[in-house]
Structure 1
Amino acid sequence: MTGNPALLDLVGRTPLARVTTPLPLPHPGFWAKVECLGAGGMKARAAVSMLRAAKAKGALRPGSTVVESTSGTLGLGLAFAGQALGHPVVLVVDEELEPSMRALLRAHGARLEIVAEPHAVGGWQQARRQRVREVLDTVPGAYWPDQYNNPDNPAGYAGLAAELLARLDRIDVLVCSVGTGGHSAGVVRALRERDPGVRLIGVDTVGSTIFGQPARPRVMRGLGSSIHPRNVAYEQFDEVHWVGPVEVVDACRRLARGTFVTGGWSTGAVALVAAWAARVTPGAEVATIFPDGPHRYLDTIFDDAFCRSRGLLGTPTGWPVEVADPAAVAVSEWSRCRVVADPARQAVPV
């Protein structure tokens, strides 16, 4: 497969939007990096970083196939990076991936392997990862980036941090969705090199295990996890928020009506929490990253019938519930906790 290195010039340099739309309450405003307007989306940054590093280390040979699990966004980034660097891409997805995203990934040349059943414990993520290993055994010389544990994933977001610093005189609070842990770790480390006082707020989904909650079925895709990715930099977070789909649907729709710039689950989630952060810290410069755009969610978040059938329409209060211990209660609505620890390293009771 012949690469097209000129595509790499299209990565990054995405616009920065000022958001003042009530979400759902009025707030002073925050800055949002609109990553869906970059070629390959936000995760093209991570995909290019991982493949370039693997090539430099000799782990990815010229023309070899790249195999990875994805809920959609990284898949788009890998399809982009594969074209740019000359590598076929096989993406392991699951039955819940939207038909529009499946079509888009195939249009960009990716081959899809579709998992039909979630893993009994690790859900769709674990089922996809098991299929990745099976595919690797059938494709000689294939390379698995392992986005959840690959340090070259967060390293790919140094450029995003530099773009923020070039536009903003200061950033007091950074709000990031957390899935693989890549962009939150990569961006905050670079920001704190200039200002160690930057606060980092992580945004997760109810039902995700990342920050110590029990695993439960999740409506939202693109943030959250049923496993514990090593790229999550727990020590960097000042607090974590879990949000529910009703709050996020409301935020996405308000953004669409009032800011025009909107997106999917991750975008709505960080917008809700960034607006809250701006409201409770007057005078602070709050920044966030909108990872995706709205188009793959037209049949879900922005579809009245879909949302009504699942009870996703409603108006949130605008305030999170305070939780003292992430392991003490299973949250079902927007909640906030100022205790952040790696659940995989917690002592197991005897």
Structure 2
Amino acid sequence: MTTPGENSLLQLIGGTPMAWIPADDGGAGYRAKLESAGVGGMKARAAVSLLSGAAARGELAPGAPVIESTSGTLGMGLALAARALGHPVVLVVDDELEPDMRALFRAYGVRLEVVERPHPDGGWQQARLDRLAELLATTPGAYWPDQYDNPDNAAGYAAMAQEIIDQVETVDVLVAAVGSGGHCAGLTRVLRQHWPELRVIGVDSVGSRIFGQPARNRVMRGLGSSILPRNVVYPDYDEVHWVGPIEAIASCRSVAARTCLAGGWSTGAAALVAGWAARAEPGAHVLTVFPDGPHRYLRTIYDDEWCTARGLLGIAASDPVEIAAPAAVEVQGWARCRVVRDPAGARVPV
């Protein structure tokens, strides 16, 4: 059972500000929704929706444990949502989760199950899901939100879409980092009712399967996937960009230096493509979302020693390479494709 104080935690989610981000010295730029200003980050919105929806359908009993796989960001949102709604949380994470994140989860009273080896085909993601299945089989009454295939994920971003409508006069282009697919699906669904001509650019990671490239080991966390999430609504996208870690790091650092606003891999990748879109189409109203802040990444993205040891401070591409079809060539860095297909064939949108 929750107390009034616990439920008041939910009031801290959302209501985040919008910022103007310059893309060059000539006046081009775009707007960014700063989700780091909301407690729990962007995915706290999805977490509340996932748990509330399950409870309303009777799938999540009062006080029942919640078990989920995460690279970290959804875990932060789930920790907050579950605390507010009265559920213990078990997070299945992998050995590459940052020490600072592990410490924070422990401080929040979250139990971590750490997977130590990636799956030979599905990488860390599949390894986490395999361990999650074992936990579900041995934990009576446990609920798995399944962020990758649960429509409640997308539904959690309806309020963000309405905030955007209230904050800006118009949006021509939405640039969205894609991991589980939830926030782009949720935003597009609402924003296109308001702005029917809205164009959507998906931002994926090099080495991700989502848009038809082969899966490879990825240093970037929080976007991209080694599996094919059903929450990705392929017809929503007008084009897709794949971004590599060198470009994402350079973008993160550039935005931080220009604005004193900083974030992680998804923020850097989305900022890179949003800036490109703003320069490529002067006068277009471009918007993106910065999902979280910099603190998780101070020992990685913003650490010269860490980046140098991994060869990630190289020269970043200034424009994407364009490919004719998603599987035409295996991309190694920033690339763009104006053909978007579901790699699994036609699926019914969630």
Q: TM-score range by the shorter chain?
A: over 0.9
The one-letter code of the counterpart of 2:11 is D
Deviations 1:244-271 (A, max 9, x none): 1111111111111111111010000000
Name the structure 1 match of 2:116: 116
Partner of 2:166: 166
CA distance in 1, matches of 2:317, 2:309: 22
Name the counterpart of 2:64.
Answer: 64
What TM-score do the two structures reach when normalised by structure 2?
0.96
Matched-pair identity in %: 63
How is 1:114-153 mapped onto 2 (pairs within 5 angstroms)?
A: 114-153=114-153
Q: TM-score, normalised by structure 1?
A: 0.96
1:182 maps to 2:166: no
Once superposed, which parts of structure 1, at least 4 consecutive aligned residues long, lie more than 3 Å away? Answer: none
**2:218 matches 1:218:** yes
Residue 18 (structure 2) aligns with: 16
**53-62 or 303-312: bigger deviation:** 303-312
Q: CA separation in 2, counterparts of 1:187 and 1:75?
A: 21
**What are the Cα deviations for residues 191-223 of structure 1, in whole angstroms up to 9, with x where unaligned?**
001111000000001000000000111110000
1:322–1:335 Cα contact (<8 Å) kept: yes
What is aligned with 2:321? 321
Which amino acid in structure 2 is aligned with residue 334 of structure 1?
Answer: W
C-alpha separation in 2, matches of 1:69 and 1:6? 26
Give 3-state SS (helix, strand or coil) of 2:270's partner: helix
Q: CA-to-partner distance for each residue in 1:284-342, whole Å, 9 max, x for gaps?
A: 11000001111111111111111111111133232100010111100001000000010
Distance in 2 (alpha carbons) for counterparts of 1:316 and 1:8 = 40
Paired residue for 2:252? 252
Q: Contact between 1:205 and 1:242, CA under 8 Å: does it hold in 2?
A: yes
Report the more deviating stretch, 311-320 or 128-137. Answer: 311-320
CA distance in 2, matches of 1:267, 1:122: 24
Is residue 291 of structure 1 aligned with residue 272 of structure 2? no
Name the amino acid aligned to 2:154.
P
| Distance in 2 of aligned mates of 1:202 and 1:302 | 25
CA distance in 1, matches of 2:39, 2:250: 27
Q: Which residue of 2 aligns with 1:6?
A: 8
User: Which residue identity is paired with 2:18?
Assistant: L
Whether contact under 8 Å (2:92, 2:112) holds in the other structure is yes
Counterparts of 1:181-200 in structure 2, within 5 Å, are 181-200=181-200
Instruction: Tell me if the contact between 1:27 and 1:276 (Cα under 8 Å) persists in the aligned partners.
Output: no
Alignment coverage as a number of residue pairs: 344
Pairwise CA distance, 1:175: 0.3
State how far apart, in whole Å, the 2-side matches of 1:174 and 1:109 are. Answer: 36
Partner of residue 48, structure 2: 48
> Does structure 1 retain, via aligned residues, the 8 Å contact 2:317–2:334?
no
Gaps of 5+ in 1: none
- Cα distance between partner residues in 1 of 2:315 and 2:276: 15
The question of whether the paired residues in 2 share the 8 Å contact of 1:21 and 1:258 is answered with no
CA distance, structure 1, for counterparts of residue 195 and residue 263 of structure 2: 29
CA distance, structure 1, for counterparts of residue 235 and residue 105 of structure 2:
35
- Equivalents in 2 of 1:70, 1:298: separation in Å? 20
RMSD of equivalent CA atoms: 1.1
Alpha-carbon offset, residue 37 of structure 1: 1.4
Q: Please report how far the alpha carbon of residue 15 of structure 1 lies from its aligned counterpart in structure 2 after TM superposition.
A: 1.1
Is it true that 1:341 corresponds to 2:324 in the alignment? no
Name the SS for the 1:287 alignment partner.
Answer: strand
Query: Displacement, 1:21?
Result: 4.7
Paired with 2:188 and 2:2, the residues of 1 have a C-alpha distance of: 35
Q: Is the 8 A contact 1:41 1:292 kept in 2?
A: yes
Would you say the 8 A contact 1:203–1:269 is kept in 2? yes
The answer to whether the 8 A contact 2:172-2:198 is kept is: yes
1:44, 1:78 within 8 Å by CA — same for their partners in 2?
A: yes
